[in-house]
Amino acid sequence: MAHASAEPPGEARRWQDLRQRALSAALLGPLSLLAIWLGAGWYTLMIAAGTAVLAWEWVHLCGLRLRAWPGLAMPVALFAAGLAAVAGEGLLALLLLPFGAAAAAWAAGSDPRRAPSAPVLPLGAGVVYVGLGGVGLIWLRGEDEAGRAAVLFVVLIVWASDIGAYLVGRLVGGPKLAPAISPNKTWAGAFGGLAAAVAAGLAVAAAFDAEARPLRVAAVAALLGLASVAGDLLESAIKRHFHVKDSSALIPGHGGLLDRVDGLLAAVPVACGVALAKGMASGGEQFLWT
């Protein structure tokens, strides 16, 4: 007698993770937006907690543990850079990242339990990968209206890019974007995510700036959307390097926090570069998209 397959049909399988993803986003999204809006202590606490989780995931990917050396080297390096960023010493924070990365790699190399063939660079690379995003988010936010708008602009563009790519990719399918890195991503999804990113950028700019120029806003939003896609692909390559499906099982339907903020970790340094090019470091009220 033939047994009925427990595998869901193709259409159902395509959307089987949607409910969990929606529930997780409905819980985490509003809390993140509230912390961004309130700024100061709540925002710093959110960045600190998120960075700690990312460090935990990365250290575990490297086969180490946070509670013991050399795994402890990564959070120590990130804490030092974050402390400098909170104190307003952005340049010092950036300089601490490569030093922290070198220290973490040295710690991994000096571990007597390390197998001779085990690589030492991944632990140090994680300091820069996670640290640039964390330091950038603190620097971008500041305490003024332009800082709040900048972070909301970047975060909502990345979220929209992710949602747009997911929905359009599942609905349309078609040719794969980078099958050797991430077999589920399609060109249709990438274009859908880019369109959603531009739409989100225009909406945020309209909410904060009545004189926003749509073409200029769209250009900056598209740049950040492309960075988000690149960050997503980079994280897929990282997971392939570590031979894992997800960075952890922390968020139902999403995997780990690294799986959720991969686009943000790539888009934030780009946004900081745009801000510096526009002279936002001078502390004026200039918006990121102007």
Higher model confidence: residue 283 or residue 146? 146
In this prediction, residue 68 has a pLDDT band, given cuts at 50, 70 and 90, of confident
Q: Give the tokens for residue 234.
A: 């980079």
At 272 the pLDDT is 95
Residue 122 pLDDT greater than 80, yes or no: yes
In this prediction, residue 136 has a pLDDT band, given cuts at 50, 70 and 90, of very high
Helix, strand or coil, per DSSP, at residue 251: strand
Unique residue bearing structure tokens 């390559």: 237
Helix, strand or coil, per DSSP, at residue 142: coil
What digits encode the pLDDT tens for the residues 233-287?
A: 999 999 999 999 999 988 776 789 999 999 999 999 999 999 998 876 544 568 9
Q: Give the tokens for residue 218.
A: 């769209």
Across residues 179-208, what is the average pLDDT?
95
Q: What is the DSSP string of 148-203?
A: HHHHHHHHHHHHHHHHHHHHHHHHH--SEEETTTEEEEEHHHHHHHHHHHHHHHHH
Across residues 59-82, what is the average pLDDT?
93
* Residue type (1 letter), 112: P
Unique residue bearing structure tokens 């980079």: 234
Task: Say if pTM beats, i.e. exceeds, 0.85.
Answer: yes
Unique residue bearing structure tokens 């000096």: 110
* Residue type (1 letter), 182: S
